[in-house]
Structure 1
Amino acid sequence: MSSIRVAIADDQRLFCSGIQMLIESQPDLEFAGAAYDGEAIVALALAEKPDIVLMDIRMPVANGITATETIRAHSAGEPPKIIILTTHERDVAVLQAVNAGASGFLLKDADPGFLLAAIRTVHGGQAVIAPRNTVAVIKDLLPAENRRADHAAIAALSAREKEIFLLAARGLTNAEIGAAAFISETTVKSHVSSIFTKLALASRLQIVAFAYEHGLLR
């Protein structure tokens, strides 16, 4: 099985070096490079094509949100999954990063084991390691007045896809969705992929944000 290639973008070089050593200590991970500003990580990601980018929100030249949008827009083939690094869990920029296409977010002082698990979890198609906490954070960041129910927003989905959408929006894993809907994880993944396409979403976190933004969950 091939290694998961991980790059990092952060203007603190010592922090990047620590992440590099952590990644290189894992047999299933490969360090794909470091960049110290938002423009440099775009160039690195497009050239090296990492599987995962650990992206600081606030960097010189271009911030992590802009860099995330640019990488996703210009990647040839499947873009890397991006995990946002932040110092404040309830930073409104986290929601902006999710809407830009980030697949997860972590506090920069997270335990090393938590970070490694998050990398593997996101690479496997899930929304960072503690999805229910993630759901709570996104819900708190969204203004209450934006939560009026808009069922037309998911009209393009089939009845089954709507069921899967709402389960995913609650932060359930593929295995949990499969158990709740009495279908296999493979079928869950197929439905989630179709949901992404029909709603023009890029990550499980965007499903969560979309559901709350349209008042489909409370």
Structure 2
Amino acid sequence: MITILLADDQALVRAGFRALLDAQDGMTVVAEAGEGAEAVRLVRELNPDVVLMDIRMPGMDGLTATRRIGEDPRAADTKIIMLTTFELDEYVFEALRGGASGFLVKDTEPAELIQAVRVVASGDALLSPSVTRRLIAEYAAKAKEPGIAPCLDLLTEREREVLTLVGGGMTNDEIAAELHMSPATAKTHVSRTMMKLQARDRAQLVVIAYESGLVRPGWL
């Protein structure tokens, strides 16, 4: 059973999401929060699998709440999907840096929302839509001047190659084909890279790839 926390200041939005998600086999909404601080508290109490987090909320906003959850080792297994009204939202990149696993626009199709929850709950990140990679590329340059990060010294040459390809939005199968290895080997390299860089998921690997300079905006 995938447990879900809804964090949005609009009660009607929460009600719509709850009705949709509770109707799915293997999913249940365990709590709702109307602002960020309440979401952080409920995550600590309930340890849900997935949080649907609105970016703009009164009091503590979704960006701050995501960062707090991402920094809390007790919430290491909780995945966060950011909800935004606009595809190219300047705060989404900061949310990905803070530990979010991806984002969805609020008017996404119901089937896409359901699939997104399943994808994130399984440990993957919402990085397949090209708009996500475009957003990361656009705002990574604004976040800070890229430069090779010291943490990359922990990686082998092959792991750097894999990180670069993850940053380019490639799946494990695509990485395997590019580097002439099996998908299982590619998955192992990705997992080891995540562990060495202490990344929660592929979303954070993409952020690291841009911020370290391995991938630069405009390369995709």
Q: Same fold (TM over 0.5)?
A: yes
Deviation at 1:122, TM superposition (A): 1.6
Which residue is 2:104 aligned to? 106
Residue identity (%): 38
Off by >3 Å, runs of 4+ in structure 1: 144-149, 178-190
Unmatched runs of 5 consecutive residues or more in structure 1: none
Residues 56-112 of structure 1 deviation map (CA, whole Å, 9 limit, x = unaligned): 111122111211122233352633010000112212111110110100011111111
Partners of 1:71 and 1:79 within 8 A in 2: no
Which residue is 1:63 aligned to? 61
Q: In the superposition, relative to structure 1, how do residues 115 and 73 fare at CA in structure 2: closer, same or farther (>3 Å)?
A: same
Which residue is 1:80 aligned to? 78
Which residue is 1:200 aligned to? 198
Partners of 2:127 and 2:203 within 8 A in 1: no
| Aligned pairs (5 A) from 1:33-72 | 33-72=31-70
Deviation at 1:21, TM superposition (A): 0.7
Partners of 1:121 and 1:129 within 8 A in 2: no
Partners of 1:131 and 1:172 within 8 A in 2: no
Residues 111-164 of structure 1 deviation map (CA, whole Å, 9 limit, x = unaligned): 111111111122223221634331111101233795656376522211221122
Secondary structure at the residue paired with 1:106?
strand
Q: In the superposition, relative to structure 1, how do residues 188 and 33 fare at CA in structure 2: closer, same or farther (>3 Å)?
A: farther
Secondary structure at the residue paired with 2:213?
coil
Deviates more, 1:145-154 or 1:208-217: 145-154
Q: Which amino acid aligns with 2:166?
A: A
Whole-Å Cα distance in 1 between the matches of residues 75 and 57 of structure 2? 26
Partners of 2:63 and 2:95 within 8 A in 1: yes
Whole-Å Cα distance in 2 between the matches of residues 119 and 131 of structure 1? 15
Q: In the superposition, relative to structure 1, how do residues 100 and 145 fare at CA in structure 2: closer, same or farther (>3 Å)?
A: closer
Q: Which amino acid aligns with 1:96?
A: E
Deviation at 1:23, TM superposition (A): 0.6
Residues 23-78 of structure 1 deviation map (CA, whole Å, 9 limit, x = unaligned): 11110212121111111111111111111100011112211121112223335263
Which residue is 1:137 aligned to? 135
1:178 corresponds to which of 176, 179, 185: 176
Which residue is 1:92 aligned to? 90
Partners of 1:6 and 1:31 within 8 A in 2: yes
Partners of 1:56 and 1:64 within 8 A in 2: yes
Which residue is 2:207 aligned to? 209
Q: In the superposition, relative to structure 1, how do residues 45 and 77 fare at CA in structure 2: closer, same or farther (>3 Å)?
A: closer
Unmatched runs of 5 consecutive residues or more in structure 2: none
Partners of 2:47 and 2:75 within 8 A in 1: no
Whole-Å Cα distance in 1 between the matches of residues 7 and 104 of structure 2? 14
Deviates more, 1:84-93 or 1:174-183: 174-183
Q: In the superposition, relative to structure 1, how do residues 31 and 183 fare at CA in structure 2: closer, same or farther (>3 Å)?
A: farther
TM-score normalized by the length of structure 1: 0.88
Q: In the superposition, relative to structure 1, how do residues 18 and 145 fare at CA in structure 2: closer, same or farther (>3 Å)?
A: closer
